[in-house]
Chains A and B, each alone.
Chain A
Amino acid sequence: MLCQECGVKPATLHFTKIVSGEKTEFHICESCAREKGELIPGTAGGFSIHSLLSGLLDLEGAGKEKTAATKNVQGLHCENCGMTYSQFSKLGRFGCSSCYKYFDSTLDPLFRRVHGSTAHVGKLPKRAGAQIMCKRQVNELKQELQESIIQEEFETAAQLRDQIRKLEKEMAQE
């Protein structure tokens, strides 16, 4: 069979593409395949980041016994968009912002693998961010408070406590 693109070289690649139910068959030679791939850049790879991710997510249960805990994970689903955990682990993508809440118990290990970290430290949205900035500050102060109590620096601790109260009051007023 000759290549359907150039009609010169013999077709060496045969594949079927299905896009929303529409089936298209291709019989092409290697150099046209390369061209075709470049025609719609990015589609040539095939092995996307999402398939790689779903591999990572599958690891969650792999190696371990199927305990009640992993079964629970499999049963998780997002009540907002309806995505189940197993769909999420296949697609490697969240369905909506609430998925983050419903799958929260499984996300720390995933984020640690992908990013080496589990919490955001970067930019905050300005409007919603004022509260968050305050919360971040309160959390930092609370840590300092704990430390000063352990160090038995009670004077500093008292100052920190007052600062925390003041910030929390401000936040409640907003």
Chain B
Amino acid sequence: MSSLRFTEQALSNWMRCGGSHSEIVISSRMRIARNLEHLPFPLLASAEQAEEALEQLAPVFQGEAAEGFGSFELLRLDDLTELDKKVLVEKHLISPNLANDSRGGAVILNEDESVSIMINEEDHLRIQCLFPGLQVKEAWERATAIDDIFEASVNYAFDDRRGYLTSCPTNVGTGLRASVMLHLPALVMTHQINRILSAVNQVGLTVRGIYGEGSEAVGNIFQISNQITLGQTESEIIENLHSVVTQIIEHERNARERLLSDSALRITDRIKRSYGILAYAAVMELKESAQRLSDLRLGVDLGILEGPSISVLNELNVKTQPGFLQKMFGDELSATERDMYRAKLLRETLGTQH
């Protein structure tokens, strides 16, 4: 089955080092929500109607129109195992909602996994572009170009006054959710994070954990996205996000410098300890590995450690997730076995680099 490549390998385009500020910004993501005219939203659609939506949307990206965007492959959620779905969620290629709740759900992925087009999620169509580093504008340009291709062959539900109509009132208008994933260990260590995050909330942006709505910020990774989709243009939304993120990067960088100048010994100790533990531990819980990998990432940026590379660290963040471990070491792992294999994986990846 050709879909294997999406779930067997951890490395996606977004994890490669690239884009600007990659020492702090992990990835930039754009998501555009669209619906088809005359069909009820997936929430109320019957199995036949969901199928109809899929039939209208799927061929668009298999024809000539999609040329220039690389090759695409359609995966139907019903054809995937629970484990494969989990892995796709862990790689941020599909949403938990599509994996767990969709009827007639499908996803169209391109080769380097930077584009994922979800069908029959909460809306009929969700176009997602995921780029490494700070590349909000680039990701938006790609997403809007794909949107244009769909619009050329299907009729969208659109209203003069309300804009693009979506199932949830929080997405109406532009249907755009722009987000940036940031690694902010120094702001967390210096207890400035809450102050900054509450300021972020006041300018129409919101903060979530790495797996979206309702998930916890693990390993000092935060996802910042726009809250407002109606009454602002797409470029205003993107500019706003970009300028706030740039300021947060500045704060994080200052905090890192201060850590290095005020408590160099303590921070060096902490980072090297984490390296030691990851390279030798026999049992490793997810929460601990996320925290220690965060230390390593900081250590590489501060020049305290020479390796591993940012892209290896990104890959490890995904590989140490429960679904991926099961994919690599066997379906039926208990929680304890997972912690054991997680430790093994980390030892094998990091232990040799001394």
Residues of A that sit less than 8 Å from B by CB: 5-6, 8, 31-32, 34-35, 38-50, 53, 80-81, 83, 91-97, 100, 107, 110-111, 114-128, 132, 135
Q: Tally of A-B residue pairs with Cβ under 8 A?
A: 174
What residues of A have a CB within 8 angstroms of the CB of B95 in the complex? 42
Assess whether B255 is interfacial by the CB under 8 Å rule: no
Q: Is the CB of B215 within 8 A of A44?
A: yes
Q: Which residue in chain B gives the minimum CB-CB distance to A57?
A: B169
Q: Is the CB of B231 within 8 A of A120?
A: yes
What residues of B have a CB within 8 angstroms of the CB of A91 in the complex? 43
Interface residues of B in 172-192 (CB under 8 A from A): 172-174, 176
Contact pick for B37, options A97, A111, A123, CB 8 Å? A97
Assess whether B232 is interfacial by the CB under 8 Å rule: yes
In the bound assembly, the distance between CA atoms of A116 and B322 in angstroms comes to 40
Q: Is the CB of A95 within 8 A of B43?
A: yes
The stretch that binds A, out of B13-21, B69-77, B148-156, B297-305, is B148-156
Q: How far is the CB of A39 from chain B (nearest CB, A)?
A: 5
Q: Which residue in chain B gives the minimum CB-CB distance to A101?
A: B159
Closest 8 CB pairs of A and B: A45-B214, A117-B231, A120-B163, A42-B96, A41-B211, A97-B157, A115-B230, A96-B40
Q: Is the CB of B234 within 8 A of A125?
A: no
Q: Is the CB of A49 within 8 A of B96?
A: no
Q: Which residue in chain A gives the minimum CB-CB distance to B230?
A: A115
Q: How far is the CB of A108 from chain B (nearest CB, A)?
A: 10
What residues of A have a CB within 8 angstroms of the CB of B90 in the complex? 41
Q: Which residue in chain A gives the minimum CB-CB distance to B39?
A: A96
Q: Which residue in chain B gives the minimum CB-CB distance to A7?
A: B334
Binding site of A, secondary structure by majority: helix, strand, loop or mixed?
Answer: loop
A93-B43, A123-B234 known; A49+B170 contact, CB < 8 A: yes
Q: Is the CB of A43 within 8 A of B228?
A: no
What residues of A have a CB within 8 angstroms of the CB of B40 in the complex? 80-81, 95-96
Q: Is the CB of A122 within 8 A of B163?
A: yes
In the bound assembly, the distance between CA atoms of A107 and B90 in angstroms comes to 36
Contact pick for B174, options A80, A94, A123, CB 8 Å? A123
Q: Is the CB of B167 within 8 A of A93?
A: yes
Q: Is the CB of B214 within 8 A of A122?
A: no
In the bound assembly, the distance between CA atoms of A32 and B232 in angstroms comes to 43
Q: Which residue in chain A gives the minimum CB-CB distance to B151?
A: A125
Contact pick for A120, options B162, B216, B338, CB 8 Å? B162
Q: Is the CB of A100 within 8 A of B170?
A: no
Q: Is the CB of A117 within 8 A of B211?
A: no
* Apart from A40-B100, A46-B214, A123-B233: 20 A-B pairs, beta carbons within 8 A: A5-B334, A38-B321, A41-B96, A42-B211, A48-B213, A91-B43, A93-B122, A95-B41, A100-B159, A117-B228, A117-B230, A117-B231, A120-B159, A120-B172, A120-B173, A122-B176, A123-B144, A123-B147, A126-B151, A126-B152
Interface residues of B in 120-170 (CB under 8 A from A): 122, 144, 147-148, 151-152, 155-170
Interface residues of B in 266-299 (CB under 8 A from A): 285-287
Q: How far is the CB of B237 from chain A (nearest CB, A)?
A: 8
Q: How far is the CB of B186 from chain A (nearest CB, A)?
A: 25
Assess whether B35 is interfacial by the CB under 8 Å rule: yes
Assess whether B307 is interfacial by the CB under 8 Å rule: no
Q: Is the CB of B162 within 8 A of A100?
A: yes
In the bound assembly, the distance between CA atoms of A22 and B203 in angstroms comes to 43
Q: Is the CB of B214 within 8 A of A121?
A: no
Q: Is the CB of B286 within 8 A of A132?
A: no
Contact pick for A47, options B43, B100, B144, B214, CB 8 Å? B214
Q: Is the CB of A35 within 8 A of B335?
A: yes
Contact pick for A96, options B41, B213, B322, B336, CB 8 Å? B41
Q: Is the CB of A94 within 8 A of B211?
A: no
Q: Is the CB of B100 within 8 A of A53?
A: no
In the bound assembly, the distance between CA atoms of A97 and B160 in angstroms comes to 13
Contact pick for B44, options A45, A48, A81, A117, CB 8 Å? A81
Q: Which residue in chain A gives the minimum CB-CB distance to B166?
A: A94
Contact pick for A6, options B38, B86, B335, CB 8 Å? B335
What residues of B have a CB within 8 angstroms of the CB of A118 in the complex? 161, 230-231
In the bound assembly, the distance between CA atoms of A119 and B228 in angstroms comes to 12
Interface 0/1 of B64-93, CB less than 8 Å to A: 000000000000000000000010011000
